[in-house]
Structures are given as structure tokens and as C-alpha cells.
Amino acid sequence: MTPLLSRIAIVAAGLPIVIAAAWVGGWFLFTIVTIGGLVGLHEFYRLGRDLRPLVLAGYGGALGAYLGAELGDAEWMLAGFLVVFPLAFVFAAVSAVRQSTTVAIATTVMGAAWIGFGLAHLILLHRLEPDGQDAILAVLLTVFATDTFAYVGGRLAGRHRMSPVMSPGKTWEGFVVGALAGIATAFIVLYETDYTGWNSVVFGALVVLAATIGDLFESLVKRDLGAKDTGRVLLGHGGVLDRIDSLLFAAPVGYYALLALAH
């Protein structure tokens, strides 16, 4: 299957579920976020297994962040995430593996923060008043449009590489096409909300930038750990972490951008 057909198949299978979860919210959204987050975290820890991450502690921190976001607010999300520290210290103390404790704990906390915090903000987005459904859909669809049109634009007209070291396949031409599509998507989704007009354009630009950086960040991590993809669960199109990497930066930026624009 070609990369384009693989991408279409993944979108056709997964996007309706994600959109439905974003629309319904509640424990349905929590379940989808938790499954995606824990699978992505498993993929990250598997790639970094030589660093001996304390996997159960990382899972606990990510799950704590998701529960905190669902049951409370951003402060509860932070409190839930902080569970990773005592868990990491306990597991490091009883572990028989001869590895640097600093490296093991740092890898554990990085994964829980990167993937736990990133996706937990999707839950917070849905709880924004009065436009929570529009807020989360704006982030999801803006990231989707940015990634899709950047890929198509790069394939059709890409000539100048953005980052030959981190991600040789990404081009400036693709970035421009994806950015325009993402900003237009944000404008359309937020048109009849409190964030219409220039607010939606600023929001779209920030989410596009965050999504692009998130994608490049994951590429840098994979390169550092010597991997091309984080997994094979999504046909020949990589792992779950390969598909949610943009959201891990875009969701927090989108959430705090909307809070700032509301004031």
C-alpha cells in the first residue's frame, strides 16, 4: 500500500471515532485520549528501552494527568501528573537494573510529560466555556488540515527542505500550503464563536506553528533513538505516536491561546 493510500485508510478508520469523542466529550473522550496516550507512551518507552525507563511510573503519571483533567481542571491535571515522581523514585529504588538512575527517571518523566500533558489538554479544551466543542474540534481539524496539506503540498511542489537533519521529508513549500490550510480551517470552525475574526486567525497560526514543531520534535527524538517509526500498529504508516505527535504540542498551545484570546 502506498503512503498516500495508507494515510487515507488510517484517516477513514480513525477520524470519525476521534471526532465523535471530541463532540461527545466526557468519559468517551477520556477513554480515547487514555488509550491513544498510553499506546503512544508504550511506543516511546520501547524505543528508549536501552535507557531503562520506569514504565509503570510513566503510565501512572500520564493516567494521573488524564484523570486530573477529566475530574478537575489544569491544576488537577498537574497534580495527577506529579504522581510520576514518587512512583519513579520507588521503582528506581527497588529496580535491579544497573542503569543510571538519573537517566532512567529523566526518560520516564519526559515521556509522561510529553504525552501525558499533551493529550490531557484535549480534555481541557472540551471543557472550555461556552465553546468547548468548537475549541477541541478547531484544534483537531486545524492539525489534521495542516498535516494533510503539508504532506500533499510537499509531494507536489516541495523543493526546499525545512530541516535536513531532523526531518528530510518536510519542505518549506509543504509548510506554507499546510499553514494556509490550517489557518483557513481554524477560521471556518470558529466563525460563529467568541473567537471569530482575527482571533481565529491568530489561534490558527499558533496551532499550525505548534503542530509543526511537535512533528519536528518527534522526528528529532526518533533520530536520537535510532528509529524511523515508533511502531507498526497503523498499517505501514508508523505507530500511534507518529500520528499524535503534532497534537502533543498543538493541544496545549491551542488551549492557552484560547484562554488568552478570551481576555
If one counts the domains in the chain, the total is 1
pLDDT tens column, 98-125: 678 899 999 999 999 999 999 999 999 9
More confident residue, 146 or 97: 146
Q: 15-19, 30-34, 168-172, 211-215 — which is least confidently predicted?
A: 168-172
Q: Structural domain of residue 116, as residue ranges?
A: 3-262
Write the DSSP assignment of 98-147 as a string of letters. Answer: -S-HHHHHHHHHHHIIIIIIHHHHHHHHHT-TTTHHHHHHHHHHHHHHHH
C-beta of residue 162 within 8 angstroms of C-beta of residue 172 = yes
pTM of the model: 0.91
